[in-house]
Structures are given as structure tokens and as C-alpha cells.
Chains A and B, each alone.
Chain A
Amino acid sequence: MEAARAVPSSSPAVPDRELLARAGRSPEAFAELYRRHYGRIGTYLLRRTGDRAATEDLLAEVFLAALRGVRRFRWRGIGFDHWLYRVATRAANRWARRRRFAPLDAARDVAAAARRDAADEVTAMLLALPPRLQSVISLHYLEGLPVDEVARVLGVRPGTVKSRLSRARDALRERFGGDA
């Protein structure tokens, strides 16, 4: 399993930092930040959930939280994009926990299985892991964040990220063998 390389976004004319300084008072500045990060956070949530409706709900949750928190945001250790990843990770983890205890719907599951493609299969494998292991696998292998950046997003030490990655890989191999 190889980590994806994060694709550097083209450097925007106005840096996030500058927009953030105005975003508490200027709807235009906040809207620009929203447009800038909507796609990336949506992609992360879609890969985490494999579910379009859930991604839409979680995106709303993340950006409403961003709106409420934007005045309090301070540049301490992580940038705005990583802060959004943190909020999105928490939202996705809560969603994954709720999903585990959702009542079974056999008919829906059969219909979903019939539509499932290779990407859905990997999402299903990841969703079988505890949410904290899903987070590290997704942020590192799918979003392409290096270990130290994953650590900053999650607010843990790099060593903790490495050990969670190792446990996640073992769990995937154990459950899914060569498919993982």
C-alpha cells in the first residue's frame, strides 16, 4: 500500500491567512474560503463514507462549524485546510460510529451490493475498521498527507500515527487478505 502524493494546489492569489483575517466580518472572504476548500473536503468525505447523501450532510456540518469557528481560528501549528480536515475527520468518525449501530436494512444492502464498484469495496473494507484507524488510513494513503501532517490534523504524536497505520494495515490484511 503506497501513500498518495498530495497534489499541491496552485498558489492562490490571496493566501488563506489573509482571507481568514477578514472572514469573520466579510461574507465574500468566507465564501472564497468555502469555494477554495469545498471540493477537497468533499472528496475526503466521499472517500470516507462512499455515500453521496452522507457527504452532503457532513459537508454542511463541517462548513457550518467553520463559520461558527472562523473568528476564533488562530494560526497555531496547523493551517486552515488541516483544521478543516480535523473537523471533517471528527464528523466522519461520528457518522461511522452511528452507521455501525444503524438498523439493518437487508433490501437496501442487497441493492447497494449490486451497484458496488471497486472503490466501494475499499470503502466498505475501511468502514469495517474502528473510526480512528479509518482516519489515519484515509488521511495518509488517500489524501496523501505525510505522517507529521496527519499527526497535526489529529492532534496526536507522529509515533501514534505510525502505530495506528501499522495496526490498520494488519487489520486489513487479517480481514481481507490479498484484497487489502
Chain B
Amino acid sequence: MTKFEILRSRRWDGGAHQDQLEERLMKEFAKQGLLVIKRGRALLLAAALLALGGLAGAGTVTWFGNVRVEETPLGDGRTHVRVLDGEKEVFDGVLEEDEALFQIEGGDILTVEPADEPEKKK
């Protein structure tokens, strides 16, 4: 066996380190999740203000940068929503009356339940 082959046969056995690092990553994940929720709430608020601003019927608005949102009310309280990033469609779906749309990190689009709506200012 050459020296290179001996080095090649060396394997990492993380032992306790693997569990400790996983625990640390999960804590970081939770922190990031909180940040995302906060940012999401801010964007949700922006979307709500946008809606109050007169998008009562069908229409297209530019949301952020190249991102355009097309909304078509379906007449039963639901709305058909398409989101386009430039020419690329990144979301196409029907939102219930109490759902809203927000964007996370420029690529990840989620619908949210009313429970996730921004808290009212005290």
C-alpha cells in the first residue's frame, strides 16, 4: 500500500462532534427562521398596503425590482395570482380570501395563513 493509499483510507469519524454540530445548526436554523418570519411580516404588510392602494380588480403591479404580480379576482372571494420574475413565472396559484403572498430571499414564495399576519401595533 502506497502512502497515498494510506491517506486515502483515512476516514472521518465525527463521534460526539456530529451531534454537537447538528444541535448548533438547529439553533441557528431557529434564529434564521425568526428573521425570515420578521422579514416576511414586513413584506406581507407591504403587500397588504399595496392591496389597500387600489388593486381591487384584476391588474398587474411591479412588486420588487423585476417581480410583477398579476391578480385576477375569481368572483368567489378567491384570487388567481401569478408572480413573474422578469419573464420567468415563479408562482401561479389561487389564494383563498384570507391568504396573502409574500416573498422570502428573492426566490422562495409562500402563502401564509392569517395567524402569520403582522401583529397590530399596541
B21–A27 CB distance below 8 A: no
Is there an interface contact between A27 and B11, defined as CB atoms closer than 8 Å? no
- Are B25's CB and A67's CB within 8 A? yes
Contact A30 B25 (CB under 8 A): yes
B3 and A121 within 8 A (CB): yes
A27 and B30 in contact (CB under 8 A), knowing A39-B12, A71-B107?
A: yes
A113 at the interface (CB under 8 A from B): no
Q: Which of A47, A59, A71, A122 contacts B17 (CB 8 A)?
A: A59
* Chain A contact surface mostly: helix
A80 sits at the interface (CB 8 A): no
> A28 → chain B, closest Cβ, in Å?
10
In contact, B10 and A47 (Cβ under 8 angstroms): yes
Q: Is A1 an interface residue (CB 8 A)?
A: yes
* Majority SS at the chain B contact face: helix
Task: Select which of A1, A55, A60, A117 is within 8 A of B12 by beta carbon.
Answer: A55
Residues of B within 8 A of A34 (CB): 21-22, 25
- Complex: how many Å from CA A149 to CA B14? 26
CA A35 to CA B30, docked complex, whole Å: 18
Contact B26 A46 (CB under 8 A): no
Considering the chains assembled together, what is the distance between the CA atoms of A25 and B7 in angstroms? Answer: 38
Contact of B3 among A27, A31, A118 (CB under 8 A): A118
Q: Judging by beta carbons under 8 Å apart, are B6 and A119 in contact?
A: yes
Say if the beta carbon of B88 comes within 8 Å of chain A: no
In the complex, are the beta carbons of B10 and A46 less than 8 A apart?
A: yes
Whether B104 is near chain A, meaning CB under 8 Å from some CB there, is yes
Contacts of B6-62 to chain A: CB distance below 8 A: 6-14, 17-18, 21-22, 24-26, 28-30, 32-33
Complex CA distance for A59 and B28, rounded to whole angstroms: 15
Q: Is the CB of A43 within 8 A of B12?
A: yes
Q: Using a CB–CB distance below 8 Å, which chain A residues touch chain B? A: 1, 4, 24-25, 27, 30-31, 34-35, 38-39, 42-43, 45-47, 55-56, 59-60, 63-64, 67-68, 71-72, 74, 117-119, 121-123, 141-142, 179
